[in-house]
Amino acid sequence: MTSRREFIGYTSAGALATVLGPVSANAQDAPRAPARSSNEPYLPTRTLNGWTLPYKMKDGVKEFHLVAEEIEHEFAPGSRAKCWGYNGTTPGPTIEAVEGDRIRILVTNNLPEHTTIHWHGLLLPSGMDGVGGLNQPHIQPGETFAYEYTLQQHGSHMYHPHADEMVQLAVGMMGMFIIHPKNGEEVPIDRDYCFVLHNWAMHPGTYRPDPAIMQDFDLWTMNSKVFPAIDPLVARTGERVRVRMANLSMWNHPMHMHGVQFQVTGSDGGRWPQTLWRPEVTEIVGVGQIRDIEFIAIPGDWAFHCHMAHHTMNAMGHEIPNPLGVDQSGVDEEIRKMLPGYQAMGRDGMAEHQDHLAMGHHPGPENTLPMVSGVGPYGNIEMGGMFTTVKVRDDIAPGDYSDPGWYQAPKGTVAAQVDDSGLDSPPRRGGAIHSKHSK
């Protein structure tokens, strides 16, 4: 691992980290750098819950240093695991550079097995592409390799191992690689967020992701965090916000944003010509893809999440039979043999789950998050996994990313209960089983 002293010698887009102290393993606690604090000619990207890798300038080459290693990671308070990542975190730090830059990336392998890094989507010499055995010898434990090439493109990209991929991706080895256009942005951006979507088989009560799982994952993450531990995307009213969404999981994710029609404006292929931009409210980010979306910020608290309903939940216990509508008296003991800590619930839906846990009715399995959590100004949000919020306010200073708290909705603009005693029967077809208005 690079020492603090070495870090201080680096030029950084996130320069505050070098001034105020060592880069922490969980960078969500790191000081918030103002967006335009750097000397870089571009607006630095903000990696949700993450950080940007500082570099050193050496003879006209930007030199970065990644260290592949085992790390202690927290998905949210109450769920931690031994994962693999880079320089102390999963995902690894974001690499940022400019089209035309010559870059050198030193990769030190502190893992117990060999690795490589593939620069996903980058145009480079074949020998720098990072497929172990095909383009280069594997990087053995304890070795450091250098990758060096000139950036010929701009856009949102990723890096990840191309060695024992099933295991190394499953346990968290990935990061983003942002290349800014050398001539600046034709349409200027005020805030630029990025994250990688991923899935984890963190079986209840365990401390290591299971790499053998193909479909039944327990945790669905944005930058290796689950709601409510995912940072909100903060913006000032009227700002142009870009979100770069990458996917290195085992599923496609239809990412849905409330409150706006965003434009899909770019991908691994760079920021597209404006004639290709299209308005959407949900954009599927396929496995191995990146999609950039942009929108003008509208005041409010807006949900932003994957639309696969199970991807906004945490540990599921997939082997449990469907409890909906079932009287489960006496079955807890039986199920507890399969899932320690299980308590029968779900007869009337799963919303009660969050209340049961909040009231301390049962602790749940060790090191296992409740399926849903998060409390908003009006009650339980009942979400987990790939869910966060876009928080837009009129009075946020440019470059301030701190959480502004909950939105104070103008009077008369919040849905509220009305007196339904004098209502006519509503139009309907078919027979409801239980309904106040079913006659």
Taking the complex as a whole, how short is the minimal distance between the CB of residue 230 and Cu ion, in angstroms?
14
Q: Is 311 in the site for Cu ion (CB under 5 A)?
A: yes
Decide whether 124 or 315 has the Cβ nearer to Cu ion.
315
Taking the complex as a whole, how short is the minimal distance between the CB of residue 197 and Cu ion, in angstroms?
7
Q: In this chain, which stretch among 61-69, 107-115, 299-307, 372-380 interacts with Cu ion, using CB under 5 A?
A: 299-307
* Residue 158 parent element (H or E): strand 155-160
Taking the complex as a whole, how short is the minimal distance between the CB of residue 280 and Cu ion, in angstroms?
16
Taking the complex as a whole, how short is the minimal distance between the CB of residue 306 and Cu ion, in angstroms?
3
Taking the complex as a whole, how short is the minimal distance between the CB of residue 254 and Cu ion, in angstroms?
7
Taking the complex as a whole, how short is the minimal distance between the CB of residue 319 and Cu ion, in angstroms?
21
Decide whether 62 or 311 has the Cβ nearer to Cu ion.
311
Decide whether 157 or 198 has the Cβ nearer to Cu ion.
198
How many residues line the site for Cu ion (CB under 5 A)? 4
Taking the complex as a whole, how short is the minimal distance between the CB of residue 107 and Cu ion, in angstroms?
30
User: Using an 8 Å Cβ cutoff, are 25 and 71 in contact?
Assistant: yes
Taking the complex as a whole, how short is the minimal distance between the CB of residue 251 and Cu ion, in angstroms?
6
Q: Is 253 in the site for Cu ion (CB under 5 A)?
A: yes
Sign of the CA dihedral 195, 197, 201, 205? Answer: positive
Taking the complex as a whole, how short is the minimal distance between the CB of residue 225 and Cu ion, in angstroms?
15
Question: Measured between alpha carbons, how far is 395 from 397 in angstroms, rounded to an integer?
Answer: 6
Q: In this chain, which stretch among 86-94, 108-116, 307-315, 421-429 interacts with Cu ion, using CB under 5 A?
A: 307-315
Q: Is 291 in the site for Cu ion (CB under 5 A)?
A: no
Q: Is 353 in the site for Cu ion (CB under 5 A)?
A: no
Q: How many helices (H) and strands (E) does the chain have?
A: 5, 24
User: Using an 8 Å Cβ cutoff, are 367 and 78 in contact?
Assistant: yes
Question: Measured between alpha carbons, how far is 161 from 167 in angstroms, rounded to an integer?
Answer: 10
Decide whether 135 or 252 has the Cβ nearer to Cu ion.
252
Decide whether 187 or 287 has the Cβ nearer to Cu ion.
287
Q: In this chain, which stretch among 152-160, 302-310, 366-374, 375-383 interacts with Cu ion, using CB under 5 A?
A: 302-310
Q: By CB under 5 A, name the one of 306, 339, 345, 357 that touches Cu ion.
A: 306
Q: Is the peptide bond before 228 cis (omega within 30 degrees of 0)?
A: yes
Tokens 């399969």 sit on residue? 338
Q: By CB under 5 A, name the one of 308, 316, 320, 350 that touches Cu ion.
A: 308
Decide whether 71 or 219 has the Cβ nearer to Cu ion.
219
Decide whether 102 or 310 has the Cβ nearer to Cu ion.
310
Question: Measured between alpha carbons, how far is 104 from 60 in angstroms, rounded to an integer?
Answer: 10
Nearest to residue 217, comparing CAs of 314, 105, 144, 299? Answer: 314
Q: Is the peptide bond before 91 cis (omega within 30 degrees of 0)?
A: yes
Residue 144 makes CB contacts below 8 A (sequence gap 6+) with 106, 107, 108, 109
Q: In this chain, which stretch among 160-168, 180-188, 253-261, 289-297 interacts with Cu ion, using CB under 5 A?
A: 253-261
CA atoms within 13 A on the CB side of 323: 24
Decide whether 62 or 253 has the Cβ nearer to Cu ion.
253
Decide whether 335 or 381 has the Cβ nearer to Cu ion.
381
Dihedral over alpha carbons 159, 21, 112, 203 (to 10 degrees): -80
Beta strands across the sheet bearing 300-306: 233-236, 387-393, 300-306, 253-257, 282-285
Q: In this chain, which stretch among 41-49, 247-255, 283-291, 420-428 interacts with Cu ion, using CB under 5 A?
A: 247-255
227: number of Cβ within 10 Å? 26
Question: Measured between alpha carbons, how far is 71 from 73 in angstroms, rounded to an integer?
Answer: 6
Q: Which residues bind Cu ion (CB under 5 A)?
A: 253, 306, 308, 311
